[in-house]
Amino acid sequence: MTGPDNINGISRRERKKKSDLFVCPLGGMGEIGKNLTVFGYGEDYIVIDCGLKFPEEDMLGIDFVIPDATFLVENKSKIRGIFITHGHEDHIGALPFILPRLDVPVYCSRLAGGLIENKMLDANTGYHPDFRYVEACDKVSAGCFEVEFIQMCHSIPDAFALVVHTPAGAIVHSGDFKFDPTPIDGNRADYSALARLGDEGVLLLMSDSTNVERPGSTPSEKMIGQTFERLFRLYKDRRIVVATFSSNLNRTRMIFATAARFNRKVLLVGRSMVANVELALRLGTLDVPEGQMISAQEAEELPDNRVVILTTGSQGEPFSGLVMMSRGTHRQVKLGSKDLVIISATPIPGNEKLVSQTVNRLFACGAEVIYERDEKIHVSGHASRDELMLMLSLTRPRFFVPCHGEYRHLVRHAQLAREMGVNAKNIFILQNGDILKFSGSSKAEVAGHAPADAVLIDGFVLGEFEGSILRERREMAENGVVVVSVVLNGDMRPAAPVQIQTRGSVYSSEDGSTLRELESAVLAALAQFSRSPGARRETLPTEIRKRIREKLDMNPRCYPTIIPLVTYI
């Protein structure tokens, strides 16, 4: 259970004297998304994944959330590389914001590299990553570590589990996985490699916990193909619109194949859908017969029963193709009673309301909508309980850390590991930022904490840590804004009438009596300020805010944000 005898010319005994091994997740613990884990030994650090998380419902105006990179930036001279398990956004989406600050190599498949490059172009970073492309069974040396790539099954091709061979022993990071016996691309999980690692000895297993509450095994992706066959046959006279994740290339492959069998052409809608399909075609990951993809103009000239529209928007994203169709604002596609819409995805936690609103609007357009789980139009890419037991059985780890799941998932997975024979003292339910330190291969403990706040992204602007910005937005959303503009001359007297504007407040700018009261309050504040000897200019906005608040306190349940703007001429 101690790993190879020699890594990069350093003997096992010498390595043991050198330092302690630590593991520190900066995201992905107690949440779905934002996956990022740091491994360190002495002066060598590596990072596995660097993903984003979609915002929760109360994160007003926030596009997505990424991990806090403070710990990485402070130690960037020690980072030997970032290793990517697969190309989904919850594993690569934070790279445009974090990678340029670290400037380290990225080890990934060609598909994941292409998806990362697209993200970099979207963010307009101007940064060109140093990609080091890998394939299944490859091994990469990174400082005192050796990282091995193991083929796994997921909802995207080229998904890997990573084995980090360290001076203290081997760590298996499962990535997102399921044990699909009939994968669409034919690449099954490498059971023999996992069993070999179990025989050699695994110090720590970090395993995907998303579906731990689901009994049995996750159905094969091929089951969805049978559902598509049935729906295409049943609705043979309708135009068919399919919404799915743009990165779910295995599902995309299936839709193209089904469309071809029913003599239908495919129109791609959504920038990320077009970009990802073009990338997959370029890399040979996706094989589409010549002429099957058509333009919007060509789609208009074909009968409805000859067209399939493959679009983004399965999560109700406000500016996605499906949502714009449901609102009637899409420039190319107008939905009606001759359309069937298939939403081939389940809502990410927090997106349920957006998806429900989209479905309601689609019905209002007159379209038939299929979205229920019992229609078997989506299967998960994550392992269910029996598969998680198989992973534990194959690897037989000494220590176990459940990851990639909400807190209840981590707890359930920890309970499952105990049932599978892992010593309860060797199971750790970590929180983001916890530093799990190993003393040799026999003892581990949480020994410290790294900064691991959530960083908010609005558009492609790196925002603040979760807290102040959301608090301000909630206050404005609940009570509105009152803006006061004052122009003063050199004698600190008004040089122009006081201007007051409100937005989203119960105090309307058209309410003359209220505005006159507020104006009187501002003038009183100015008079008080001019009579106060030694008063400093920077205190005037506070005085104006105080006087207006006194007037508004007549309605104790309304606390609009008050913004004084003072100009001196």
Binding residues: 61, 63, 86, 88, 90-91, 154, 176, 246-248, 378-382, 404, 458
Between the alpha carbon of residue 255 and those of residues 123, 179, 197, 422, the distances in Å are 29, 22, 37, 42
Between the alpha carbon of residue 253 and those of residues 117, 174, 184, 275, 365, the distances in Å are 22, 25, 8, 15, 28
For residues 473 and 471, give the distance between their C-alpha atoms in angstroms, rounded to a whole number. 5
> For this structure, is 68 an active site residue?
no
For residues 502 and 307, give the distance between their C-alpha atoms in angstroms, rounded to a whole number. 50
Strands 64-67 and 36-41: unpaired
Q: Which residues contact 280 (CB under 8 A, 6 or more apart)?
A: 111, 249, 252, 286
Q: Which residues contact 133 (CB under 8 A, 6 or more apart)?
A: 108, 109, 110, 113
Instruction: Tell me the one-letter amino acid at 569.
Output: I
Q: Which residues contact 496 (CB under 8 A, 6 or more apart)?
A: 487
Binding-site residues for Zn(2+) sit at: 86, 88, 90-91, 154, 176, 404
Which residue is catalytic, options 382, 409, 413, 434?
A: 382
Helix axes 191-200, 385-395, angle to 10 degrees: 50
Q: Which residues contact 9 (CB under 8 A, 6 or more apart)?
A: none
As given in the structure block, the two tokens for residue 204 are 């720590």
Binding-site residues for Ca(2+) sit at: 61, 63, 458
Instruction: Tell me the one-letter amino acid at 123.
Output: A
For residues 314 and 293, give the distance between their C-alpha atoms in angstroms, rounded to a whole number. 21
How many CB atoms are located within 10 Å of the residue 197 CB? 22
**Complete DSSP assignment for 45-87:** EEEE----BPPPTTSTT--EEEE--HHHHHTGGGEEEEE-S--
Binding-site residues for substrate sit at: 246-248, 378-382
Which residue is catalytic, options 208, 339, 409, 434?
A: 208
> For this structure, is 413 an active site residue?
no
For residues 78 and 130, give the distance between their C-alpha atoms in angstroms, rounded to a whole number. 17
Per DSSP, the three-state class of 12 is helix
The residues that are catalytic are 208, 382
